Amino acid sequence: MGFRAGFVLLAFAAASRRADAGASVDFARDVQPIFEQRCVVCHGSKQQLSGLRLDDRDSAGRVIKAGHAAESRLIEMVKGASGKLMPPVGARLSDEQIATLTRWIDDGATWPATASAARHWAWEPVTHPDGDIDRFVRARLEKEHIAPSAEADRATLLRRASLDITGLPPTPQETAEFLADTRPDAWARQVDRLLASPHYGEKWARYWLDLAHYADSDGFEKDLVRPWAWRYRDWVIDALNRDLPYDRFVSLQIAGDEVPGATAEDRIATGFYRQTLTNREAGWTGARPASISWWTVWARPARRFWGLRCAARNATTINSIP
């Protein structure tokens, strides 16, 4: 072919491409973004559900019949025509997106090699999930090949946050108020409200009180009640509610009576030591309580604060540093 003829052909091709540019579907511009946003989380490099990749021309070819959208499994799936709908989570594809995919396939499903799966990560746009914690959660989900769930509705979110932070479900009124709150920081306000709730300390003190073996009775034989045990319990709850720094929280429980200018509250913190089984059996001698108090005074803080474990006389197995 002579230079001229070649030139004329090229010019003609360019002209005809321009003529239908408005109507034609461009893979990289119109189709690939749909796959990337809605499909490759399950059909991409990380996981290939149903063995399918939609970031890879060859793999995708299995569900695409070029020139025949109506016979392509991909179109059947995004329409939900066979009872199964893709994507299975989140909103369905819009009619416009389905029309784009349909036209692209009917037009011959052109998939330029330059737009193939092997796009280097360095060329991908930087995307971040919502926050720092989400990034860790996402990393783990990817490791386990689990696709993230769609975001829960607002009532569910509030219920989860309330149970997590206060241990209580939201009241119907709290839910209604949150649903009606359209301010952009409505969610942050709810979290702040829950953190400020006195129930925050009640919920989270439980974990510490369990470690301290909190009880309001002796825990043995006659199991006599300890009518003032709640004062230590309330001290822990209050310490959490007023955000007492951890070093202070620990030192007051170990030696609240020794701190300069110790208040009654500081002394109550040492109720930590009192949280042990007490034997008031008849015939109980004075010798044993001494050993018990040694155990209480040294072993308990060692376990709770420094993570050490010791072998006690009656304890069965443990003799390790975890």
Please select the residue that binds ligand HEC; options are 25, 27, 43, 269, rule is CB under 6 A: 43
Spell out, one character per residue from 144 to 163, where the chain touches ligand HEC: x when CB under 6 A holds, - when not: ---x----------------
Tell me 225's DSSP state. Answer: B
Name the one residue in this structure whose structure tokens are 């803080």. Answer: 301
Is residue 141 within the footprint of ligand HEC (CB under 6 A)?
A: no
Spell out, one character per residue from 62 to 81, where the chain touches ligand HEC: x when CB under 6 A holds, - when not: -x---------xx--xx---
Q: Which CB sits closer to ligand HEC, 73 or 138?
A: 73
Report the nearest approach of ligand HEC to the CB of residue 112 (Å): 19
Report the nearest approach of ligand HEC to the CB of residue 19 (Å): 30
Name the one residue in this structure whose structure tokens are 């369905």. Answer: 92
Count of CB atoms situated within 10 Å of the CB of 195: 13
Backbone angles phi, psi at 217, to 5 degrees: -150, 170
Please select the residue that binds ligand HEC; options are 36, 49, 115, 206, rule is CB under 6 A: 49
Report the nearest approach of ligand HEC to the CB of residue 44 (Å): 9
Which residues have a Cβ under 8 Å from the Cβ of 103 and sit 6 or more positions away?
A: 25, 69
Whole-angstrom distance between the N-terminal and C-terminal Cα of the chain? 81
Is residue 53 within the footprint of ligand HEC (CB under 6 A)?
A: no
Is residue 50 within the footprint of ligand HEC (CB under 6 A)?
A: yes
d(CA 242, CA 240): 5
Is residue 170 within the footprint of ligand HEC (CB under 6 A)?
A: no
Backbone angles phi, psi at 131, to 5 degrees: -150, 180
129 Ramachandran zone, left/alpha/beta (phi>0; psi -120 to 50): beta
By CB under 6 A, name the binding residues for ligand HEC: 38-39, 41-43, 49-50, 52, 54, 63, 73-74, 77-78, 84, 86-89, 93, 147
